[in-house]
Amino acid sequence: MRFGVRFGAVSRVGLGATGAVLLALSVSGAAPAGQTIAFKRVISLGVGTFPIYGMVRTSNGTLHLVFQTTTGKSSAPSGLATTSVGASGAVGPQTAALKGWGTSIPGLVALPNGNLQAVFGAVSPKPDQISGLWGITSTNGGASWSAPVEVGNQSTDEDHSYGANVTGQVSGSMPMFTLSVAGGIVVQKGLGKGVADARLTDSSDDFAGDVDSALDATSKEMVVSWQSLAHQGGDFIRGAAPALQKAVRIPGRTMNEVVISGRDSGPGVFAAYSTDGTHVRLFRYGGGSVAVGSLTGVTAKAIGTATGIDGRIWVMWGDENGGLAVTRSNKAVTQFEPIQQVNPHAFSLYRIGGDGRLGPLDLLVEEIPVINNKTLPAGTFYGRVLPELSGTASSATLTQKGKTVGQKLTVHVTDAGDAVAAATVSAGGKTAKTGGNGVATLTLPASANGTVTVSVTAPTYQPLSLSATL
């Protein structure tokens, strides 16, 4: 089953009623090194190849999501709700943020004062019926939300922003939003009447679908991506604010979803792509790409990226048959960890995203799941993926006056080539910590011989097991 159709006829599958309670569905997924991923439904609204939620990570480590809701059997949106994922990975309750409004897909940002700001297009309910761009604010971490206020400028309001799907970023103290409507993209810089805006698309690259945005952590530039159906089509990426830059086509096969990510520190905004549907590369806006890899049995029908920690970028791709391939880059974004395989049990897979700023990847999968040969309602599912360690172990015999007095075991622990400090290394009843160079040394008894198992653990990582011959 093909997992999406192009914009202009984009399908949104399984749009149904949602209540204040999360659907308690868990799905087990297999991954290397004994990791088990438990996927939990966080959004019951229908899914598509376009983003259906606004997402932001706040300074306390909480990942916040805002999304449309429906009532009864109607597929029409009737409000907004929020949920969150705590720093521990626990999913919070669903909270009603707005009722009685037919909203567009909202964007979400964290303002410098700590408030959460959700922005959406809508026509206000009767009797006013004012069309435009609206916003609601939470001053208490999403527990409650203000009444809607108009936040669009005159230009965007006249540009039919009431129907626009929205994404948001904050550059310094400036909140910025993309408005995607009728195939065009507008970026609004700030909130309220009189703020500046700019149009990203023209006759050469418009008729845009699947708009996404990300922030360059160094330049503070807002970068926007989209799929174009104009002329020869393709996936495009462009610096949008503070100034418009030249639109650049992303290499590889045209995808229905273009999920881009900036780093938490350091320059760059990235998009993953594939030229053959199997091998994946990571493209950096501004020039260059790096090979990510491939995983036997997994094709790149859907591709995503996510911001990691310490400048790292997560890359995810997959299909309904092979599941997902997941990996994370080093700090310089020049090489990658061993690729993990994660199974979200998707009957139809639509979009992959998430956030990894805490270390683990908080993975969000939009899909129609299948459990025990039974397809279940579409939705967005959450699971936490721990990154992987790599290591080598070598031994040397310690002698004194020609007599063996011990065995020196040297263990080098890395993450995508970067040294991992403070990892705990255990073997033969001895334990040591790696230093800043990622190396730990254990002295085992002279009687130790044969093959020894070396166990390596580090916070937020999967455990690693190595073998060394003494």
pLDDT digits (tens, 9 = 90+) for 52-68: 899 999 999 999 999 99
Residue of 125 and 71 predicted with greater confidence = 125
Residues 314 and 463 in one domain: no
pLDDT for the residue numbered 383 = 97
pLDDT digits (tens, 9 = 90+) for 441-462: 999 998 888 889 999 999 999 9
- 343 part of a folded domain: yes
Which residues have a Cβ under 8 Å from the Cβ of 220 and sit 6 or more positions away?
171, 172, 242
**Whose structure tokens read 């911001």?**
307
Local confidence band at 466 (pLDDT 50, 70, 90 cut-offs) = very high
User: CA angle, 200 as apex, 198 and 205 as ends, to 5°?
Assistant: 155
Q: How far apart are CA 264 and CA 335, in angstroms?
A: 17
**Could you tell me which residues are beta bridge partners of residue 32?**
none
What residues make up the domain containing 136? 26-385
H helix and E strand count, the chain: 1, 38
pLDDT for the residue numbered 162 = 82
Contact between 441 and 432 (Cβ < 8 Å): yes
- Of 337, 367, 385, which closes a domain? 385
The overall average pLDDT reported for the chain is 89
pLDDT for the residue numbered 210 = 86
Q: How far apart are CA 470 and CA 467, in angstroms?
A: 10
Residues 369 and 408 in one domain: no
Which among 90, 156, 160, 79 is positioned nearest to 118, based on CA atoms?
79
- 254 part of a folded domain: yes
- 274 part of a folded domain: yes
Which among 213, 138, 205 is positioned nearest to 179, based on CA atoms?
213
Residues 366 and 455 in one domain: no
Local confidence band at 182 (pLDDT 50, 70, 90 cut-offs) = confident
Query: How many CB atoms neighbour CB 54 within 10 A?
Result: 26
pTM: 0.91
Residues 439 and 420 in one domain: yes
pLDDT for the residue numbered 1 = 28
Residues 410 and 370 in one domain: no
pLDDT for the residue numbered 2 = 28
- Of 340, 360, 385, which closes a domain? 385
- 368 part of a folded domain: yes
- 2 part of a folded domain: no
- 3 part of a folded domain: no
Q: How far apart are CA 333 and CA 221, in angstroms?
A: 19
Considering its fold, how many domains does the chain have in total?
Answer: 2
pLDDT digits (tens, 9 = 90+) for 204-259: 655 787 899 999 999 999 999 998 877 678 899 999 999 999 989 999 999 878 99
Q: Containing H/E element for 219?
A: none
pLDDT for the residue numbered 21 = 32
User: What are the CA-CA distances from residue 396 to residues 255, 410, 412, 439, 465 (Å)?
Assistant: 52, 8, 14, 15, 20
Sign of the CA dihedral 286, 292, 294, 300?
negative
Q: Which whole number is the average pLDDT over 381-406?
A: 94
Sign of the CA dihedral 327, 329, 334, 338?
negative
Extract the tokens encoding 50. 């376009």
pLDDT for the residue numbered 110 = 98
* Residue 25: pLDDT over 50: no
- 14 part of a folded domain: no
